[in-house]
Amino acid sequence: MKLVVIDYESGNLRSVAKALESAGVTPQVTGDPAQIRTADAVVLPGVGSGPAAMAALRQRGLVEPLRDYVGSGRPFLGVCLGLQLLMERTSEGDAPCLGIIPGEVLRLPPGLKVPHMGWNSVRFNAGHPVFKGIPQDSYFYFVHSYYAAPADGASVAGVTDYGVPFCSVYAQGNLVATQFHPEKSAGLGLRIYENFVALANQHQAVSGQPSAFSPRPVAGS
């Protein structure tokens, strides 16, 4: 099974790779678009600025391969900024994102200490194989100043409260993304990576039957 961790110099790559290795797979950490096109599973990590991350993805020719990959229905896991980049736009610099998920990225409300840094709980709204064995209201590690606000609340699989309830887990078919960092969230975080690897292995075993997902490109991005 070929699992790719996307390297665009904006992610916690070493920690993500080590977490995946502990889950039984040796990932390819690469920014090569050709490797994404032939991957069985992809992880998009990310920290820092959304506009800077999008510029890095464009510079490396990764925007269209990412959109095509998600559209194929193969397993995809976005982490932190990797969730936010799936939206249409970010209020950070009023910049376009990947446009895979209708919605926007908003800044946490004024008056709060930002970034939101530390452990917080997740209230799961829906079950998903990637969160198998994860108890309700489990705590995970967050570091962020912005959050994703998907237009369709039906795919918001988990919510966290920090001054405002926000989407901390998005799940639609084989597309899963978290605002928190599983690789920094001790045993439960590692369980998420184990479950994602299991999902990817299962999908590979029944390849040719992808979970339908149609990305919606954003004009001019």
Annotated active-site positions, please?
80, 181, 183
d(CA 3, CA 27): 5
In three-state secondary structure terms, 10 is coil
Query: For residue 22, which phi and psi values (nearest 5 degrees)?
Result: -65, -20
Report which residue type is found at 70.
V
Quote the CA–CA distance of 30 and 132 in Å, as a whole number. 28
Residues 6 or more apart in contact with residue 36 via CB below 8 angstroms: 4, 6, 30, 42, 62, 65, 66, 69
